[in-house]
Amino acid sequence: MDAQVTRPTSANSQTRNAGYATQPPLQRFLASCHEEFKADDSGNVADYIPELKRADPSHFGIALVTIDGHIYEVGDSAVPFTIQSVSKAFVFALALEMVGEERVAATIGVEPSGEAFNSIRLTSDNRPFNPMVNAGAIACSGLIHEVDGADAFERIREKLSQFAGRQLGVDDAVHQSEVITGNRNRAIAWLLRNYSVIQGDVDAVLDTYFRQCAVLVTARDLAVMAATLANRGINPVTGVQVIAPNVVARTLSVMTSSGMYDYAGEWVYRVGMPAKSGVGGGIVAALPSQIGLGTFSPRLDSHGNSARGLKVCEALSSRFDLHMLNRSADVRTCVIADYDLFGISSRRSRQPHEQQILDEHHSDIRVIELVGALNFAAIDYVTRRLAGEPPNAPLLVLDFRRVPDLTSAGAQLLGENLTILGNAGVTAILTGIEATSAVWLAIRARTGEPHRLRRFALLDEAIEWAEDQIVYRYGGFTVSKETSHLGEQALLAELTPDEIAALADLSTARRYEAGQRIISAGEPANSLFFLQNGMVSVKLPSGVRLASLGPGMEFGEMAIIEQRRSADVWADTQVKCLELPLDSFADYRQLHPQIAMKIMRNLSALLARRLILANAKVDLLSAY
Ligand code: GLN
């Protein structure tokens, strides 16, 4: 996947954004934040790790990544620095993935400590307070070390790289510097060893931790990492599922309660985004389902959080109202259309007696088109709608083509509802989802009446299948017999028997096997066909079906007004038809002008009917 980048200073992005008369508003906002806060030189560069003193205090970068993978960048967003404590959030996620929820919970708490990141205090049962302070993070590295031993760091580096969407390296000088001076962390680690929170080689665990803190990232990397958390674990730039959604929720929880150390409460209150900071000057902030933010500025405030980074987060949150608890939604918007088959149909053309059955029983098929990510509340609304008016139709089509996601609570409610409906004789037909999709598998697993549950990839296929059930139920299925004469063709209405006979003489009998292509889109259109036996489908080259036709219907008739075939026609079964060359229309010695006139008139009537049908659909859908 190619990430879109908005970065006014790079020549490359200027060409990409040539279409913008002005920069997108968010880019301008970030640029104005950068301009405003770069004047702030409060705070100090961390110096307790000697090598960190070398950081340039003027560096200031901001990057923001949307969950569709667009990257906004301002300032020093490509300058590398050490990740430090920002790694804690991602390594916690890795530990959860590797050893599981229970093991992690037995080792590390999730309560805010209210203390500084390097506090040596443990809980009353001698565990670290949470994985976002040093004690908890060292314990996390210990859990990973228990599984991977000497490969633990490589495993961590690989995971952080997946979050960032590129291979990350290590600043060896910073690593060495912390190895030499990190006695406080050494004390914490030995205390943890004393309480068996760390089992095994303390020095090796510490080295893993120090190395993970020295991984080099940029503000842009942090923004991609945050956006991966905001996007339920899928890196929006690479498309890779880096971590499971339930791990993401747990990680964001501890970031919310403890990510900013002893500033955490204030942070949630004011900014309201899960975040994590590091003494290297980085901050990540993730707003679920919306954005990931990464900032870099090495001057730290008294809590050890980047002073300018904090300001950027606060400004962004207040300017765009991004507090995670400030949300609103209207569940009713999840239904964009709810209709029966009055005046509409699948693209299968029906014999007149079949159409009559369908017209009479149009309310036996109900179609509900859903939209958006569906959660518990949205599905609850759908179930209440199904329980209300009109009463249940025996065939219920639920269209999921615009539904990217369904929560498991939503799947649970829907499954229960479909089971109840199934017991009451309703067949539910789900459309717009593939057999392998998570949404389909979740619903199917929770529906007790599998034979009352069907799935089609396309809404049109589902409606056709439902129509077939209705036609069948009311005895309308007849074995399609050969049309005895051309007089039954709609296009040839009003022709006298002599005229029909003349036409038959000019035509050639054709036979096709099932699966054979009869007409190809793009070819010159120089004949039309009268279908006598079997079924054909008119499809666009993309595979989208425009119509299915049976005996007594014509195809290729648009040749009369178009020079080229606009669609493919395939034989669905064995097919017998008559092909009439168009030349005969131009030559009065072959086809009398009066016959041609009648055919043209019939064609106009056919086209008018199609237009009326199309208008009815437009009208129906615009009502929602
Ligand atoms: N490596 C640093 C330490 O353990 C990380 C601390 C931080 O970023 N807050 O002291």
Q: What is the mean pLDDT of the chain?
A: 90
**DSSP assignment of 347-358:** SB---HHHHHHH
* Least-confidence region, from 147-156, 352-361, 435-444, 468-477: 468-477
For residue range 237-291, list pLDDT tens digits in order. 999 999 999 999 999 999 999 999 888 889 999 999 999 999 999 999 999 999 9
For residue range 535-582, list pLDDT tens digits in order. 899 999 888 888 888 888 889 988 888 889 999 999 998 999 999 998
| Alpha carbon of 187 to ligand 1 centroid (Å) | 14
Question: Is 339 marked as binding a ligand?
Answer: no
| Alpha carbon of 278 to ligand 1 centroid (Å) | 6
Single out the residue of 597, 576, 606, 596 nearest to residue 503, CA to CA: 596
According to CATH, the topology of domain 486-620 is: Jelly Rolls (2.60.120)
Question: Is 277 marked as binding a ligand?
Answer: no
- Does the pLDDT of residue 163 top 80, yes or no? yes
Q: Are 373 and 405 in contact (CB under 8 A)?
A: yes
Percent of the chain's residues with pLDDT above 70: 94
**According to the model, what pLDDT value does residue 562 have?**
86
Number of C-beta neighbours around residue 442 at 10 A: 18
CATH number of 20-320: 3.40.710.10
SS3 437: coil
* Least-confidence region, from 402-406, 467-471, 586-590: 586-590
Distance CA 293, CA 221 (A): 10
Question: Is 526 marked as binding a ligand?
Answer: no
- Does the pLDDT of residue 39 top 90, yes or no? yes
* Least-confidence region, from 11-25, 134-148, 444-458: 11-25
Distance CA 556, CA 575 (A): 15
Residue with tokens 């008739």: 557
Question: Is 235 marked as binding a ligand?
Answer: no
- Domain ranges across the chain: 20-320, 336-478, 486-620
Q: Which residue ranges have their beta carbon within 6 Å of ligand 1? A: 84-85, 117-118, 134, 178, 185, 213, 278-279, 304
Q: Where are the alpha helices (DSSP H) in 167-218?
A: 172-181, 183-194, 202-213
- Does the pLDDT of residue 18 top 60, yes or no? no
For residue 178, the ligand 1 atom closest to its alpha carbon is 1
**According to the model, what pLDDT value does residue 12 have?**
43
Q: Which CATH number, 3.30.750.24, 3.30.565.10, 3.20.20.140, 3.40.50.300, labels domain 336-478?
A: 3.30.750.24
For residue range 333-386, list pLDDT tens digits in order. 999 999 998 888 888 888 788 889 999 999 999 999 999 999 999 999 999 999
585 or 58: which carries more pLDDT confidence?
58
Question: Is 209 marked as binding a ligand?
Answer: yes
Q: Which residue has a Cα nearest atom 4 of ligand 1?
A: 134
Number of C-beta neighbours around residue 303 at 10 A: 18
**DSSP assignment of 8-42:** TT-HHHHHHTTT-SS--HHHHHHHHHHHHHTT---
| Alpha carbon of 179 to ligand 1 centroid (Å) | 12
Contacts of 236 (CB under 8 A, 6+ apart): 65, 66, 67, 68, 69, 224, 227, 228, 292
Distance CA 549, CA 551 (A): 7
For residue range 309-324, list pLDDT tens digits in order. 999 999 999 999 999 9
What the block records as the tokens of 514 is 């099932």
Which mutation among 186, 213, 305 tests ligand 1's pocket best, with the greatest number of atoms within 8 A of CB?
A: 213
What the block records as the tokens of 310 is 């904090």
CA-CA-CA-CA torsion sign (365, 366, 372, 377)? negative
Q: 210 exposed, middle or buried (CB, 10 Å; 0-12, 13-18, 19+)?
A: buried
**According to the model, what pLDDT value does residue 616 have?**
75
